Structure 1
Amino acid sequence: MDRDGYVWWYVDALSADGRQGLTIIAFIGSVFSPYYAWDPTRDPFNHCAVNVVLYGERANRFCMTERGRAALDREADHIRIGPSGIDWDGTTLTIRLDEVTAPIPNQVRGTVRLKPPGFTPGPHSLDADGRHRWWPMAPSSPVEVALSEPGINWRGTAYFDTNHGDTALEAAFTDWTWCRADLQDGAAILYDVHRRDGTAQALTLCFASDGTPREITPPRRAALPPTRFWRMPRHTRSDDGQAEILRTFEDTPFYARSHLAATLRGESVRPVHESLSLTRFSNPLVRLMLPFRMPRRV
C-alpha cells in the first residue's frame, strides 16, 4: 500500500426488531485519524484501528483506538488489529471484538458472525482515475451478535463492504452521502459523491440476496433536515422524493449516520444512511477535537 493509502472493511447491522444496531470498521490507514493526517511519513500501516459503535435501547458505545504496525497481523483469510480481528472461513465472516470506549472507559467484547448468501461483482471506482475503489461485497446477510460486554445478543441483517484508496480521501472528495436498504429479496444501495475537481457521481445499485445485480430506476432526490447539534447537511434519494429520519445515530462535526424511512424499488424500506463532509474534516480545529474519542496506543 502506498503512502497516503488506505483500506477498510465495513459492517453495519440492525436487529430484526429494529431496536438494536452496530457498526464495525477495520482500518489500515485510518482515514479519519488526526494522527495519520499529522504524520509526515504518511505510513498507512502505522495507523490501524477497529471502530465499533453500538446503537440501541440497551447500550450506546463508541470505540476507536488507533494502533501502530506492530499491532497488525493480516493474511488472505484474516486481519487482526490489537485484540480484535476478522476471520473468513469460506462461508462465515467472524468478527471478534475486544475494545474500550473513550474518554470514559467501557468495554465492548464479543462476537459478530455474518453468513453472506453470495457476493456482488465489483469493485466500483469512485473517482475518474480509479484511485478510490468501493466494493459492496455482501449487501444483505444474516447476522448473529453475541456481546458479553455490554451483555447483548440479537439476530438481524448486516451489510458488508470494503473501500481501498491510493490517496487521502480529502484530496479527492469534498463530501458524499451513502445509504443501503434491505429489500424483500436483497438490497438497494445509493452512493452520491462530490469530487474535489467539481465533478460528481451518483450510483444506484440493486442486488438479489445472492449478489446478482438487479434493475432499479434511479430514485429522486429527497431533502432531509440537518443534524440537530452540528448541523451536518443531509439528503438522500427515494422513489417519491420523500424520506423521514427515524433516528440520528451519529451527530459529529463532519459525519452523520442516520436511520431513515423511504421508498426504493417500490418497497417501504428503512435505510441506514451516512453523510460525510471531508471539507469539515480537513478543518484543523475539527482534527484537534478527535483525539478525545480516538486515543492512540502504540
Structure 2
Amino acid sequence: MIGFIGSVFSPWYAWSGRGQPDNHCCINVATYGKDGRFAMTDRGRTALRQSRDCLQVGPSSLRWADGRLEIDIDEVSSLPLISRMRGQITLTPSAVTGIELPLTPGGEHVWRPVAPIADISVNLEAQGWQFEGHGYFDSNFGTRPLEHDFNTWTWARYPTATGATCFYDVKRRDGSVLETAINFLPDGQARHVSGPPATPFRRTLWALRRNTRADPGTTPKQVKPMLDAPFYSRSVVETQIDAQTVQGVHEALDLRRYANPILKPMLAVRVPRRARWRF
C-alpha cells in the first residue's frame, strides 16, 4: 500500500496541472493472487488530515504508535472487481534509518528507505488476506513530475542472510544514469556496495523491458506477477546475488510511456476521482 499527497500516477492530478498536491491525495491498496483487488481513489483536500504521527486520507490512515506503523484500510476497489477493502496492517521496523538518496543531482527527487527491514501483520476482512511476514517501508519526495526528469528506472529490494539489499537503477532524461546498491543491516546501518551487474530478464505482458542485478552467468526470473500496466510492473523476482539465491519485490517504470496522453483516460478507469469528503 502507498499513501500519496500529490498522487503522481493519477490522471486527475496530471490534468489539474499538478499545482495543488493536497487536492489529489489517496491511499493505494493492492492485494494479489486469486481475487486480488486494487484501490486508488483520488480524493480532494477535504479528505486530507496530517499530524506529526498520522496521515489520514478519507476513511483510511497511517499512524506511528509505540514504534510501529499502524495502517487502517477502508477503501473500495476499482474495476473489474469492485468490493470493499477493509482491515488493518501493522508494520514493526527492526530499525528506522535517517538515510536519504537524491535521485537527481539537484535533489528534485529523493528516496528515503525509512524501514528497509521490518515485520508485518496483515488482517483484512476477506478470506485469505491474513498473514504475517517480512516487510518494507520507504518514502519518496519530488518537486517536479517524474516524466520531466526520468526515462526509466528499476528498483528492487531483496532480503538476504544478513539483512536486505536495495538496488535503484535510473536513466535520466538528460542521458545521465544512477546505479545504486545499498545493503541494510537489522540495526539500521547501511552501506553502498558494488552489486552484481544489471541483467535483463523476460519482458512483461505489456512488453515492458526489465532488468535487475544478478551474478554473472545467472538470469533473474519472475516467480509471481503482482501488477502489470503499460508503463509499470511490480512482481516477485528471483535472482542470485553474491552466490546467494534471493527473492524480493521488483519494480520497473517507463516514464516515456507514462507521458503518453493516451494512457490518462485508461488510468481514469482504475483511478476514480472523489473530490469531496466530510469527516
In which range does the TM-score fall when normalised by the shorter chain? Answer: over 0.9
CA offsets per residue over residues 16-69 of structure 1, 9 Å max, x none? xxxxxxxx0000000011111111462101000111110134x31111001000
Indicate the residue corresponding to 1:218 in structure 2.
Answer: 195
RMSD: 1.4
Following the alignment from structure 2 to structure 1, what is the Cα–Cα distance between the partners of residues 127 and 148?
Answer: 38
Alignment partner of 2:113 out of 136, 145, 154: 136
Partner amino acid, structure 2, of 1:34: P
Note the C-alpha offset of 1:102. Answer: 1.1
Note the C-alpha offset of 1:277. Answer: 0.7
Indicate the residue corresponding to 1:27 in structure 2.
Answer: 4
Structure 2 counterpart SS, 1:70 = helix
CA contact (8 A) 2:180 2:192 kept: no
The reply on whether 1:227 has 2:211 as its aligned counterpart is no
Following the alignment from structure 1 to structure 2, what is the Cα–Cα distance between the partners of residues 94 and 119?
Answer: 15
5+ residue gaps, structure 1, are 1-23
Which segment drifts farther, 201-210 or 149-158?
Answer: 149-158
Indicate the residue corresponding to 2:68 in structure 1.
Answer: 92
Alignment partner of 2:91 out of 114, 134, 150: 114
The reply on whether 1:36 has 2:13 as its aligned counterpart is yes
Q: Size of the alignment, in residue pairs?
A: 273
Alignment partner of 2:51 out of 75, 79, 92: 75
Following the alignment from structure 2 to structure 1, what is the Cα–Cα distance between the partners of residues 141 and 192?
Answer: 26
Cα gap change, 1:232/1:41 in structure 2, threshold over 3 Å: closer, same or farther?
closer
Indicate the residue corresponding to 1:125 in structure 2.
Answer: 102
Following the alignment from structure 2 to structure 1, what is the Cα–Cα distance between the partners of residues 193 and 100?
Answer: 19
Structure 2 counterpart SS, 1:175 = strand
CA contact (8 A) 2:182 2:193 kept: yes
Structure 1 counterpart SS, 2:235 = strand
Note the C-alpha offset of 1:151. Answer: 5.5
- Tell me the percent identity: 40
CA contact (8 A) 1:186 1:206 kept: yes
Indicate the residue corresponding to 2:126 in structure 1.
Answer: 149
Structure 1 counterpart SS, 2:32 = strand
CA contact (8 A) 1:216 1:265 kept: no
Indicate the residue corresponding to 2:160 in structure 1.
Answer: 183
What's the TM-score, normalizing by structure 1? Answer: 0.88
Indicate the residue corresponding to 1:15 in structure 2.
Answer: none
Partner amino acid, structure 2, of 1:35: W
Indicate the residue corresponding to 1:259 in structure 2.
Answer: 236
Partner amino acid, structure 2, of 1:245: Q
Indicate the residue corresponding to 1:273 in structure 2.
Answer: 250
1:6-21 map, 5 Å: none
Structure 2 counterpart SS, 1:122 = coil
Partner amino acid, structure 1, of 2:132: R
Partner amino acid, structure 1, of 2:64: W
What's the TM-score, normalizing by structure 2? Answer: 0.94
1:236-251 map, 5 Å: 236-240=212-216, 241-251=218-228
CA offsets per residue over residues 202-229 of structure 1, 9 Å max, x none? 110001112111463321121111112x
Note the C-alpha offset of 1:152. Answer: 2.1
Note the C-alpha offset of 1:247. Answer: 2.0
Following the alignment from structure 2 to structure 1, what is the Cα–Cα distance between the partners of residues 174 and 100?
Answer: 22
Cα gap change, 1:122/1:105 in structure 2, threshold over 3 Å: closer, same or farther?
same
